[in-house]
Amino acid sequence: MEGIKHKPHTNTCQECRIAHLCLPANLNKQQMRGIEQLQFNSKILNPGDHLCHQGEKHEHLYLLRSGMLKSYFNKENGDEFVMQFHLPPELFGWEGIDDEQLSFSIVALDYSNVCEVPLSQLKEINTKHPEIQMQIFKLINQTVRKNNIAMLRTTAEQKVSTFILLLSKHYRTLGHPQYLCQLTMTHQDIANYLRIAPETISRVLHNLQHQGLIKVTRKKIVINNIEKLHYLSNGIKT
Amino acid sequence: MEGIKHKPHTNTCQECRIAHLCLPANLNKQQMRGIEQLQFNSKILNPGDHLCHQGEKHEHLYLLRSGMLKSYFNKENGDEFVMQFHLPPELFGWEGIDDEQLSFSIVALDYSNVCEVPLSQLKEINTKHPEIQMQIFKLINQTVRKNNIAMLRTTAEQKVSTFILLLSKHYRTLGHPQYLCQLTMTHQDIANYLRIAPETISRVLHNLQHQGLIKVTRKKIVINNIEKLHYLSNGIKT
DNA sequence: CGAGCGTTTGAGACAATTCAAGAGATGTGG
DNA sequence: CCACATCTCTTGAATTGTCTCAAACGCTCG
């Protein structure tokens, strides 16, 4: 799987379908015309393809246009540590930006399209389009919030139900009904990310299904009672 | 306590003692001369004073020059939720920057000195000094990392020992020996932040003392074996 | 089809929480 | 300066939740 070649090609922000959710979000039409020179390489990744590897030189920020990614690193003892799942539109690759080397690897979980912003170009972008700074703030902020969402919960049930809701929201933006949710990653990865045991994921899903809130078929989850799932995820008892 | 008036006064980055750790970190001497116009109000806070309140208009970024702060918000059910403890030099106030209103309050735990950067001024700063963008990235990154440090740990012992090490590092930068650590916040606040029960904090501290790693006197902790504490905090068994 | 991985399920062990009571510290007003 | 009320912290006992270990099952892919 990994062997398949990336097909880099160039994209201008002007013709990008999700520019309004991305760096140029705050630009008006006139300013948009001024960014003809804003164009970046974008990469198509197949599931299992790596975008970058731990230890490589840190030279890009990335913008996820579509698909789903996982960033992780290997601890000294060899254990994998899942940092994040990336969902579009997401700005990532800024973690550890003060380091020369990348402290993490990023792998595609789904067919994905990623836009590369060279760090070397960032200052220039910033000078020409200072409005973009605020948008970068917002994008970073969304990422931080997304991660807090699942990890700050205390019980396994809260964590898992929050995670399901997060994913289902993503699938809704893809046009699927929001009560549908596809687990593209393994239970192991989710468990690692949420800092719980993989067996616990299994048990919680079983419980949620038993309560009639969801229906699990393989890696597909249908949400029957999204309202109650929200309650659970926020620790509100009914 | 809360009633005591803030004493705002103006600071230029040029004369600031910690400018090299703050926004102008990457500027050379020539560029530093160019930032005479960079000056911000700074506030002195007494313990218990609020810097800002949930619901107010979101109009500043803040830079903590000295002291210690806590940011938190109140959930619908009235429960307090501790988001972060801020240690200098830290850039904060960018969480929820896409919202009009502040989603959190910030209170001083110690005598603190905070520099205010108006959001309205940010674009201008950015245009004149694009080098600062990268420094903002770095500062945000440090904050995210600091929070991950304690929260990604799995056991209560790991969380608490990581937290102690974090604080002790802070006190070292103040000139205290690094094996000294003052808890300016209540166990309740720490517990809330680390998502564990306050009783557990008490028990873990008791255990660590029993193992001879620390000595607890009231809110003062003396670290006897910092190396082993590091092992514990990283989950390495000895 | 068989190998290998991921998932499910159960039983026992362990960690952390909850609840409750008491000790210690802090602040206030007389 | 003391007495009282209020917080915070400590400690114990019972309970709950999650983890670990182990075994079996089910997919997927060559």
Mention every residue, 6+ apart, whose C-beta is less than 8 A from residue A96. Answer: A58, A102, A103, A104, B141, B145
Tens of pLDDT, residue by residue over B181-206, are 999 999 999 999 999 999 999 999 99
Asked if B103 reaches chain A (Cβ–Cβ under 8 Å), the answer is no
Q: What pLDDT band is residue B237 in, cutting at 50, 70 and 90?
A: confident
- CA distances to A56, B71, B125, B191, B196 from B188, rounded to whole Å, are 42, 14, 39, 5, 9
| Facing B131 at nearest CB: one of A123, A131, A152 | A123
CA angle at A5 for the pair A107 and A16, rounded to the nearest 5°: 75
Distance CA A135, CA B164 (A): 35
Per-residue pLDDT reduced to its tens digit, B61-97 = 999 999 999 999 998 777 899 999 999 999 999 998 8
B155 CB neighbours strand D below 7 A:
no
**CB distance B126–A130 less than 8 Å?**
yes
Residue with tokens 């192991």, as numbered in its chain = A188
Percent of chain B with pLDDT over 90: 61
pLDDT (tens digit, 9 = 90+) per residue, B142-159? Answer: 999 998 877 788 899 999
Asked if B152 is an interface residue toward chain A (Cβ–Cβ < 8 A), one would say yes
Phi then psi dihedrals of residue B62, to 5 deg: -125, 150
Sign of CA dihedral B103, A139, A121, A24: negative
Question: Which residues of B are less than 8 Å from A144 in CB distance?
Answer: 95, 144
* pLDDT value of position A3: 44
pLDDT of residue A218: 85
| Residue B224: C-alpha distances to residues A188, B150, B214 (Å) | 38, 21, 5
Q: What is the arithmetic mean of pLDDT over B104-119?
A: 94
Say whether pLDDT at B207 is over 80. Answer: yes
CA distance B145 to chain A (A): 8
Round and report the angstrom distance from CA (B213) to C1' (C4): 45
Q: If contacts are CB pairs under 8 Å, which of residues 184-203 in chain A contact chain B?
A: 195
- pTM for the model stands at 0.91
For residue B161, which of B238, B87, B233, B235 has the smallest C-alpha distance? Answer: B233
Q: Does B117 have pLDDT greater than 80?
A: yes
